[in-house]
Amino acid sequence: MRAPSGDAGDGDTDDNDRTGDTDENDRDGDPRPPRTVLVAGVGESLGTGLARAFADAGDRVALLARSPEYVESLAADLRDAGGEAVAVTADVTDDGALEEAVGAVTDAFGPVDVAIHNANDRGGGLDDAESFRRPLRTRAEGGAALARATLPGMRERGDGTLLFAGTTHAFDGSERLPGWGAAAFATRGLSRSLARRAGPDGVHVCYVAVGGTIPPADAEFRPAGAMDARTVGERFVALADQPPAAWSHEVDLRPSGQPP
C-alpha cells in the first residue's frame, strides 16, 4: 500500500424512478459539514466523475487505485481547484493493503463517511477459468473487502453510506461475458445483504446499476447515447445526501435512449 496518493479500475452504473434526490444541505438548511469520501476504483471515466462531483459538493475525496500515476494527478487537479483530495494505492482484493489505505485516509481526513466500490477488472469470458474469475474477485470479493474495511466504523458511529457502482448485467446477465453477469449478480446480492445488516445501525447501502457507456470524463467527444461521467457522479452525491427516512437501496441509471 502506498499512502496518500491512488487508482483501482473503473466501474459502471444506472437510475430510474427508484432514486430520490436530496439537497446537499442538512435538514436545517445550513451547509452540511464536509464528508470523507473514499472512491475505490478511480479511472478516467466514472471514477473521475465521482471524484469531481463529491469534491464540488464540498467533500474531502480520497482516490484509491492499484497504481498511483493517474490518481495522484487527479488529486492534484482537485486540490488546484480548491478541493481537498488525496490519492492512495491498494488492490481491493487485498484486505491488508485496503485496511492500510483506509487508515491513511482516516489519518488525512478523518473516518470514512461515504465509501464507493467502483473497482472492476477485465475478463469475464466463459472459456478461460481465470478470465471468468477476475470480475468475481474484483467486484464481489473486492466489495466485501471494502465493506470489512469501512462498515464497522460506520456502524459504530451510527452513520455512513456504502455505494456500489454496478451494472445492469445484475438484472439481465451477459451472454458475451458470463463472468461479468455472475459478478454483477453477486455484487448486487452483497449490497442487498449489507443493507439488511447495516441499515438498522444507520448505514445507507445502495447498489447503482449503470446501464450505458461512460467515456473518459475529459473526452472532447461523447458518442450519441453515451452517459456523462460527471452527471452520473452527481446522482451518487444525491444518494449520499438522502435522509434516513427515504433511502434508495437500488437504482437503475440509463440514458434516455436505453429504456429498461
* Interval 160-209: pLDDT, tens: 999 999 998 899 889 999 999 999 999 999 999 999 999 999 999 999 99
CATH number of residue 164's parent domain:
3.40.50.720
Find the domain containing 197 and state its range.
36-253
Instruction: Please give the pLDDT value at position 43.
Output: 93
Q: Which is more confident, 28 or 119?
A: 119
- The number of distinct structural domains making up the chain is 1
Give domain status of residue 5, yes or no: no
Give domain status of residue 3, yes or no: no
Mean pLDDT of the region 227-237: 94
Give domain status of residue 27, yes or no: no
Residues across the chain: 260
For all residues of the chain together, what is the average pLDDT? 88
Q: Which of 8, 78, 16 is closest to 44 using CA atoms?
A: 8
Mean pLDDT of the region 106-111: 98
Instruction: Please give the pLDDT value at position 77.
Output: 97
Kindly give the residue spans of alpha helices, DSSP state H, lying in 110-168. 129-135, 142-157
Instruction: Please give the pLDDT value at position 138.
Output: 95
| Burial category of 206 from C-beta neighbours within 10 Å (exposed 0-12, middle 13-18, buried 19 and up) | buried
216 pLDDT more than 70: yes
Q: Which is more confident, 53 or 15?
A: 53
Q: Which helix (H) or strand (E) holds 243?
A: none
Give domain status of residue 140, yes or no: yes
1 pLDDT more than 60: no
Give domain status of residue 4, yes or no: no
3-class SS of residue 198:
helix
241 pLDDT more than 90: yes
Contacts (Cβ under 8 Å, ≥6 apart) of 248: 18, 19, 20, 206, 239, 242
Give domain status of residue 122, yes or no: yes
Q: What is the pLDDT of residues 33-53, one digit of tens each?
A: 999 999 999 999 999 999 999
CA distance 11 to 118: 4
Give domain status of residue 24, yes or no: no
For the chain, percent of residues with pLDDT exceeding 90: 74
pLDDT band at 220, cuts 50/70/90? Answer: low
Give domain status of residue 26, yes or no: no
